């Protein structure tokens, strides 16, 4: 998927994060960053979505695209957590 990030410019490779993670990054808030990589696709969910997923329930936030630079910033903002297995 091609496209351009307002902050980091043109991108060929995007991650997918729940909308809450994306919004929180813009506002500089920490909402949890539960992330991993599936087949080269980087994804991350907020704590609320992660808890629901672990309980077998549906996530409350849609997945939105986030550039890899923004992904790294969101990870740092949330304490630089390790990837989930």
**DSSP H or E segment with residue 4:** strand 3-5
Interacting span for Zn ion (CB under 5 A) from 15-23, 32-40, 77-85: 15-23
Q: Identify the residue among 23, 64, 69, 72 touching Zn ion (CB under 5 A).
A: 69
Q: How do 41-45 and 14-18 pair as beta strands?
A: parallel
Two structure tokens written together for 23:
């919004």
Binding of Zn ion by 70 (CB under 5 A) = yes
- Binding string to Zn ion for residues 17 to 56, with x set by CB under 5 A, is what? -x-x-------------------------x--x-------
Q: Are 17 and 69 contacting, i.e. CB atoms less than 8 angstroms apart?
A: no
């Amino acid at each position: 998927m091609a496209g351009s990030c307002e902050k980091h410019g043109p991108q060929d490779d995007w991650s997918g994060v729940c909308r809450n993670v994306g919004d929180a990054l813009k506002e500089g808030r920490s909402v949890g960053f539960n992330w991993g990589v599936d087949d080269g696709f980087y994804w991350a969910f907020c704590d609320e979505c992660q808890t629901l997923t672990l309980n077998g329930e549906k996530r409350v936030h849609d997945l939105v695209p986030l550039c890899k630079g923004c992904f790294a910033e969101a990870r740092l903002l949330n304490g630089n957590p390790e990837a989930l297995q």
